Amino acid sequence: MEQYEPLEIIGTGSFGLIRKVRRKTDGKILARKEIDYRRMNEKERNQLSAEFSILCELDHPNIVRYYGRHVDKINCMIYIIMEYCEGGDLSSIIKKCKKEGTFLSENTIWHFFTQILRALHECHYGYGKNKCGSNHSQQHITILHRDIKPDNVFLGSDNKLKLGDFGLSRKLNLDREFAQTYVGTPYYMSPELITESHYDVKSDIWSLGCLLYELCALQPPFQAKSQPVLAIKISAGTISPIPSRYSDELYNIIKAMLMVDPNQRPTTMELIKMLNPNKDTAYRE
Ligand SMILES: CNC(=O)c1c(C)[nH]c(/C=C2\C(=O)Nc3ccc(Cl)cc32)c1C
């Protein structure tokens, strides 16, 4: 028996649509990613399997909560059940500001940045939660999101930001092991990916820097009409100043995350300490 009443389609994620659904047992509103696996090749099916195993490891207030999955063999569909985020995605919030000619306040930007940073820190340095009963004990795992962008950050019903869509993410078993291929959004592609195509935690930091820049300037730091020109601009790493309404502190953090040399970029822990210099409180709410 179908456990969920399908409601309207609310967006598109990696591999499929996102639909609002109502759980029949208690009326709870959730989001369901709907994937037709007939159209998936072997590599995409492996990536989907990787997404499931990653979603089972993550349990954090700033990461979209995963409730489970269901395979509909008759219709060749896979459904991933996740937390509903009634505020939609950051991309829509940025578009609304541009349309209205307004800017996000510096306080709002720090509030957004702190939450996404906590989510990314959990991915990079958290401990697996094995919520799906996998047999390994809690161990340190490194999860690379690999597609951090405003379209993949959502505003939850608790007014908290949630990092979502781990459809392109990778679990690294060895800290220094590199994910071999990169498939994310070109605007946010880091310099090392243009030259070497190796992706690691510092590449997520670059994308986070691009996202923070876009929250301020309402446009990405690197833009071009063609990918070759975009690649040249990214490799040069030269960015225009953010609007003068924002502090030097904010601009300095963006510049640090957009250092062309990945070794010069801060880790999530270093960024958290920059935000809370005098506090040694746990970074997790
Ligand atoms: C116009 N659509 C929206 O405002 C919107 C709303 C109300 N929710 C969403 C998206 C999600 C949502 O509500 N929960 C999600 C879980 C995972 C992923 Cl990849 C996306 C979502 C969207 C795109």
The predicted complex's ipTM stands at 0.99
2: confidence class by pLDDT, cuts 50, 70, 90: confident
Nearest to 154 by CA among 146, 145, 164: 164
Q: What is the mean pLDDT of residues 93-99?
A: 97
Mean pLDDT of the chain: 89
Atom of ligand 1 nearest to the CA of 83: 14
The model carries a pTM of 0.91
Q: Which residues line ligand 1 (CB under 6 A)?
A: 10-11, 13, 18, 31, 64, 82-86, 88-89, 154, 164-165
Distance CA 5, CA 237 (A): 48
Ligand 1 center to residue 14 CA distance, Å?
Answer: 12
State the pLDDT at residue 138.
67
Pick the more confident residue, 36 or 132. Answer: 36
> Higher pLDDT residue, 19 or 283?
19
Nearest atom in ligand 1 to the alpha carbon of residue 85 is: 13
Query: Which residue owns the Cα nearest ligand 1 atom 23?
Result: 11
Helices 268-275 & 248-257 angle (0-180, nearest 10): 170
The reported pLDDT for the residue numbered 39 is 85
User: Model confidence over 106-129: pLDDT tens digits?
Assistant: 999 999 999 999 999 999 998 777
Q: What's the average model confidence in pLDDT over 191-204?
A: 86
In the predicted structure, residue 8 carries a pLDDT above the cut 60: yes
Tens-digit pLDDT profile for residues 140-196: 789 999 899 999 999 998 889 999 988 778 877 644 444 555 556 689 989 988 887
Nearest residue (CA) to ligand 1, atom 8:
88
From residue 61, alpha-carbon distances to 113, 126, 157, 230, 269 in Å are: 14, 13, 11, 35, 18
Q: Is 175 a catalytic residue?
A: no
Catalytic residue, candidates 147, 165, 200, 204 = 147
The rounded percent of the chain whose pLDDT value lies above 70 is 89
Rounded distance from Cα 30 to ligand 1 centre (Å): 10
CA of 264 to the centre of ligand 1 (A): 34
In eight-state DSSP terms, residue 63 is B
Average pLDDT over residues 220-247: 96
Confidence bin at 88 (pLDDT 50/70/90): very high
Q: Is the pLDDT of residue 132 over 50?
A: yes
The answer to whether the CB of 62 falls within 8 A of the CB of 126 is no
**Ligand 1 mean position, distance from CA 68 (Å):** 16
